[in-house]
């Protein structure tokens, strides 16, 4: 896939999600009466993951990636065990937390 297309899809999904979430927070029901804001998380996760993996790597640091994967799995397990109050969104939150360290390292490079 084209890297520019994935980058545009990711940042557009992220900006749309944040703006709609803030609008729904400011005026409850403004967005959630029409559709769930969290439906935008699926394209956000897919495009963010694909963009993170297609971004060209400048240097190879295997230790950094292993530490990133281990910390992502550890954080996801912690969120899964502690996040019982999130109910059905617990698995989605754990999935986001699983990929968050990898996205952070990929975007920093």
In this predicted model, what pLDDT tens digit does every residue of 33-74 receive, in sequence order?
A: 888 888 888 888 888 888 888 876 665 567 777 788 888 888
**Cα 32 to Cα 6: distance, rounded to the nearest angstrom:** 27
25, exposed or middle or buried, with CB in 10 Å at 0-12, 13-18, 19+?
exposed
Q: Which two tokens stand for residue 85?
A: 């109050």
In this predicted model, what pLDDT tens digit does every residue of 64-100 receive, in sequence order?
A: 777 888 888 888 888 888 888 878 888 888 888 888 8
What are the backbone dihedrals phi and psi of residue 48, each rounded to the nearest 5 degrees, phi first?
-65, -40
């Amino acid at each position: 896939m084209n890297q520019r297309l994935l980058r545009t899809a990711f940042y557009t999904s992220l900006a749309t999600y944040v703006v709609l979430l803030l609008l729904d927070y400011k005026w409850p029901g403004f967005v959630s009466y029409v559709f769930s804001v969290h439906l935008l998380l699926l394209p956000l996760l897919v495009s963010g993951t694909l963009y993170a993996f297609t971004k060209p790597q400048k240097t190879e640091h295997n230790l950094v990636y292993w530490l990133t994967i281990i910390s992502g799995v550890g954080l996801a397990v912690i969120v899964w065990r502690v996040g019982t109050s999130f109910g059905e969104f617990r698995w989605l939150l754990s999935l986001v937390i699983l990929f968050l360290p990898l996205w952070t390292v990929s975007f920093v490079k």
